[in-house]
Amino acid sequence: MTETIKTDVLIVGAGPCGLFAVFELGLLDVKAHLVDILDKVGGQCAELYPEKPIYDIPGVPMITGHGLTEALMEQIKPFNPTFHLNEMIETVEKIGDPEFRVTTNAGTVFECKVLVVAAGGGSFQPKRPPVPGVEAYEGKSVHYAVRKMEDFRGKDILIVGGGDSALDWTLNLNPIAKSMTLVHRRDDFRGAPHSVEQMRQLVASGKLDLKIGQITELQGDNGQLSGATVKLNDNTVSQIKCDTMLPFFGLTMKLGPVANWGLHLENNLIPVDTGTFETNVPGIFAIGDINTYPGKLKLILSGFHEGALMAQKAVKYVYPDKRVVFQYTTSSTNLQKKLGVN
């Protein structure tokens, strides 16, 4: 049987708001574990716009999505949070007042006094390409992510898309592929200019076949792809030999299991009390993009504020008998000790 992990607080989602919540809880001596479906921390900042600049983080004139994630990780280091990546929180069961038993799809079991839902827009899911019958090949020869590059060695690979993911995987997998074709609906790529240039060099050197058009049909048996038909933009049809297809059509966000945890929902968002960011279930809080209240703005700075107020109420569940005194990090030697700066 799996051992149960006991923690003061379990945070669902390691996006910017989940990460900053660790800091606010840590200042009050509250320990946190975080779980995220993704293989990395940073939520939307890391997954959707790592290289894009953000201009509205207070006191930071410009920082990229990746830069903000790195800075938050540095800021919460003194509190030593434990991360469980590549896992999705599936079930939440109330076992005390408050106390929760929470399980992930990987079978990890947590028991916590407080649950903080910082799940953003929910789980990221790849968009399916508009190709009839593609479902039949998914997981076997059609993949929406590259988890292990070695799995693609010696394959006849068809990559579909024109953004950064399509280009990055074209460049990274090209040296180990047996053959490679890139299909995009127009001869104009949204990816980084440097990647576009490198991709064109592969075409010029005969290592990559570039086709401008749309996949109309897949051929194969029992989930194993053997070929694809492309309708080219000059209205001719081309046949591609491939045993693997990697479509990169972007990601959508789906609420996922959060809907089954007994929380009130309004348009797939969790209503909260704006003094504490607690939900309708005492001990379960919701911060960041996942919550709703009058005037809510889906901004990172709103989620930071929400995390600070959440921590003030959460600490009362973790240490019911402790008197919490409000302190500034500038002047409190006690807080500075916790931060390791004094």
Report the distance separating Cα 325 and Cα 200, nearest Å. Answer: 61
Q: Which is nearer to ligand FAD, 176 or 301 (CB)?
A: 301
Q: Tell me whether residue 11 is annotated as binding.
A: no
Shortest distance in whole angstroms from residue 52 CB to ligand FAD: 6
Shortest distance in whole angstroms from residue 79 CB to ligand FAD: 17
Quick check: 25 binds ligand FAD (CB under 6 A)?
Answer: no
Q: Which is nearer to ligand FAD, 182 or 258 (CB)?
A: 258
Residue with tokens 């540095």, as numbered in its chain: 74
Q: Tell me whether residue 44 is annotated as binding.
A: yes
User: 277 CB contacts (<8 Å, ≥6 apart)?
Assistant: 285, 286, 287, 291, 306, 307, 309, 310, 313
Q: Tell me whether residue 289 is annotated as binding.
A: yes
Quick check: 56 binds ligand FAD (CB under 6 A)?
Answer: yes
Report the distance separating Cα 158 and Cα 219, nearest Å. Answer: 13
Report the distance separating Cα 98 and Cα 216, nearest Å. Answer: 54
Quick check: 303 binds ligand FAD (CB under 6 A)?
Answer: yes
Q: Which stretch binds ligand FAD (CB under 6 A): 41-49, 134-142, 199-207, 308-316?
A: 41-49
Shortest distance in whole angstroms from residue 15 CB to ligand FAD: 2
Angle made by CA atoms 75, 80, 82, in degrees to the nearest 5: 115
Per DSSP (E only), the strands in 29-169 are 32-36, 53-54, 63-64, 82-85, 89-96, 99-104, 109-117, 123-126, 156-160
Question: Can you say whether the dihedral through the CA atoms of 330, 335, 336, 340 is positive or negative?
Answer: negative
Q: Which stretch binds ligand FAD (CB under 6 A): 49-57, 107-115, 225-233, 334-342?
A: 49-57
Nearest to 80 by CA among 15, 16, 7: 7
User: 147 CB contacts (<8 Å, ≥6 apart)?
Assistant: none
Report the distance separating Cα 296 and Cα 280, nearest Å. Answer: 18
From candidates 94, 298, 305, 338, binder to ligand FAD by CB under 6 A: 298
Q: Which stretch binds ligand FAD (CB under 6 A): 40-48, 175-183, 277-285, 318-326?
A: 40-48
Q: Which is nearer to ligand FAD, 121 or 247 (CB)?
A: 121
Shortest distance in whole angstroms from residue 103 CB to ligand FAD: 11
Q: Tell me whether residue 279 is annotated as binding.
A: no
Quick check: 307 binds ligand FAD (CB under 6 A)?
Answer: no
Identity of residue 299: L
Shortest distance in whole angstroms from residue 90 CB to ligand FAD: 7
Report the distance separating Cα 134 and Cα 139, nearest Å. Answer: 10
Q: Which stretch binds ligand FAD (CB under 6 A): 118-126, 187-195, 276-284, 320-328?
A: 118-126
Shortest distance in whole angstroms from residue 312 CB to ligand FAD: 19
Quick check: 126 binds ligand FAD (CB under 6 A)?
Answer: no
Q: Which is nearer to ligand FAD, 65 or 247 (CB)?
A: 65
Report the distance separating Cα 75 and Cα 20, nearest Å. Answer: 8
Q: Which stretch binds ligand FAD (CB under 6 A): 16-24, 196-204, 206-214, 322-330?
A: 16-24
Residue 105 contacts residue 53 (beta carbons within 8 Å):
no
* Contacting residues toward ligand FAD, per CB under 6 A: 12-18, 35-38, 43-45, 48-49, 54, 56, 88-89, 118-124, 256-258, 288-289, 298-301, 303
Binding residues: 17, 36, 44, 49, 89, 124, 289, 330
